Every structure is written in structure tokens, then in C-alpha cells.
Amino acid sequence: MTRRAVVTGVGHYLPERVVPNAEFETMLDTTDEWIRARSGIERRHFAAEGETTSDLATRAALAALADARLTAQDVDAIILATSTADLTFPSAATMVQAELGMTGGFAFDLQAVCAGFVYALGTANALIVSGQAHRVLVIGAETFSRIMDWTDRSTCVLFGDGAGALVLEANEGGGTSADRGILATDLHSDGRYRDLLYVDGGVSTQTTGHLRMQGNQVFRHAVEKLAATAETALDKAGLGCADVDWIVPHQANIRIIQGTARKMGMEMDRVVVTVQDHGNTSAASIPLALSVGKVRGQIKPGDLLVTEAIGGGLAWGAVVLRW
């Protein structure tokens, strides 16, 4: 028997305010056509004034717990993937822990920018497989609207706010790729590329800073690295692209999503796409897509999924899991 981390609940939360591309036409030299054609984004959600990352994360966590028919007291650990925590410390995860009324266990933030959720899945899997935790709440939540330079048309039209969450639970499997749960992970980073995507502020500089990105450079790395990490993760699980029911990619740009699927030899009807409605929500984009994919009836129990993401660092990776 092999201990596996199995998904038993999923949920998401999106802030009320929806901002269509047309709103940017009034403040920047841009068009709805350019944004759609270059990124596939049509609208995104922005958090209300005073609404924080931990608020979004708590709403998503409650939805995932309800889906799993559990309460927060049933959970041993919370991992919150985010680059936009409420405060420098304590972690946004401990704020979620308190909001949920969870008095035991442990909670921490994990920062790997847009790759945050695949890193968090890898970490939760390690905690569960090693027996350090039985149930882990894995959340991706972001308020990237707070780090946008609203005068920079090449970045501010691309990002949005939101949160998604999974409950992962230990389960005994047969040790084959037919098991439910996380079957393989593949994580990478290469800090030599840190200037391609970063925030030009932080605690030591006494500023929050704004996101800066050399978009076309990141784009070039993305398709190649995402297809390679997805295929490596599948290989580690003893599987290939032909076995995959759904790619659930990080939702940064429809052209990256299409290019990665093409490189993997997969049709777009096997890819969960939400970028048109959410924009790039960084670490929240994969759990949002998992939750929306389930609500749409795309993702069903027993389906083989591969999730992949790349972002600032550069940091990237993939996770293969059977739903």
C-alpha cells in the first residue's frame, strides 16, 4: 500500500467587482481587441477597498471545507500560496487559521509567485506522504491589483484578484498510476532570470513596489519550460500525455496555454481555460481553474490531471494527480 494525498474538497472565491477590458481604454493607450488578441483576457475581478488576500483565502477555504464535508478543526495544516499577503508578518495563513476557528495544527505562507500553487501541492504532498499531516488545506490567494503600476499598459491589464482552495487527505492507494491523489511532482527555479519578472519594492526598501515584467522574454521561457516540466512529471508517474484527461494550466495568457498544449500534442478540448474571466491571478489561478472546471462538469472523479505553472524567479513546475 502507498500513502497518497487525495483531493476531497475544492472551492473558490472571486471578489464582486468585475472589470472588463473596456475600462482600461478610458485610462490607458490600449484596446479591448489588443488585450483579447495578445492575452485572451476579457475581464478580471478586483478586490474591494479593505478586502485583503486573507479575506479571499478564507472564503475559498470555507467553500473547499464545505465540499469535503469537514470543519477547520479536522485539518492539520494550512499552506497558503501567495505573494500578496496582508502584512509582512504574521503569515496570511495564520489569519485564515484564526478566521476559520482552527485552534490546532499549523499554518504558513509559501511564496513562489505564479508557481506558488504547484509548489504548495508538492509541499502538502510531502507532509502527507511522510505522515506529518493527515489533512492539509492548500490555498492559492492573491490581490495583485495592489501591486499594479496603473500607468504601465504592458502589465496592469493582465492581472486579477481571487482565491481557490483544495482539501488534501491521506489515503492508501495500490502504489500504481491508477491511484487517486498526487502521483508525481516536478519543481524548478532559476534565479538567474529574476529580472524578467519582479516587484521593485519590499520590506527593506520601505515601499510596496510595483510589478515589472519583460513579458515577451517570460513568454519565450514559458511554453518550453511548461511542456517540459509537465512531461517530466508525467514520466515520473509512469504516464504520458495520451493518458491525460485535463491539463489545468496556470492562466497567464491563452497563447502560452495553447502553445504548451500543442507542444504536448494535446487538443484544446482537454484544457481547462479560465483566463478570459479571471486574468492572471498568480498562485490563485490553478485552484480557481480546478474549482471552476469541476463546477462546469469538465473535471470528474478518476480523471487524470496535469497542472503546470511558471512565474517570477523564474520558478516553475508541474503536478500530476488523479482527481
Among 28-36, 65-73, 79-87, 259-267, which window interacts with ligand UT7 (CB under 6 A)?
A: 28-36
Q: What are all long-range contacts of 128-132, with beta carbons under 8 Å and residues at least 24 apart?
A: 128/3, 128/4, 128/5, 128/168, 128/169, 128/170, 129/3, 129/4, 129/5, 131/3, 131/170
Which residues are 316's β-sheet partners?
A: 188, 310
Rounded CA separation 209/88 (Å): 13
Measure the CA dihedral 127/129/132/138, to 10°.
40
Residue among 6 and 228 whose Cβ is closer to ligand UT7: 228
Residue among 35 and 320 whose Cβ is closer to ligand UT7: 35
108 is a contact residue toward ligand UT7 (CB under 6 A): no
Q: Minimum Å distance from CB 113 to ligand UT7?
A: 7
Residue among 113 and 127 whose Cβ is closer to ligand UT7: 113
Binding pattern for the stretch 270-309 against ligand UT7, x by CB under 6 A and - elsewhere: ----------x-----------------------------
Among 69-77, 150-158, 163-171, 239-247, which window interacts with ligand UT7 (CB under 6 A)?
A: 150-158
Rounded CA separation 283/311 (Å): 9
39 is a contact residue toward ligand UT7 (CB under 6 A): yes
**Closest of 209, 61, 59 to residue 144, by C-alpha:** 209
* 3-class DSSP assignment, residue 174: coil
Site for ligand UT7, residues 55 to 94, rule: CB under 6 A: none
Dihedral sign computed on CA atoms, order 54, 56, 59, 62: negative
Q: Minimum Å distance from CB 299 to ligand UT7?
A: 22
Rounded CA separation 65/96 (Å): 13
Q: Known catalytic residues?
A: 114, 250, 280
138 is a contact residue toward ligand UT7 (CB under 6 A): no
Yes or no: say if 164 and 286 are a contact pair by the CB < 8 Å rule: yes
Q: Minimum Å distance from CB 205 to ligand UT7?
A: 22
136 is a contact residue toward ligand UT7 (CB under 6 A): no
Q: Interface with ligand UT7 by CB under 6 A: which residues?
A: 30, 34-35, 38-39, 114, 153-154, 157, 215-216, 218-219, 222, 252-253, 256, 280, 310-311
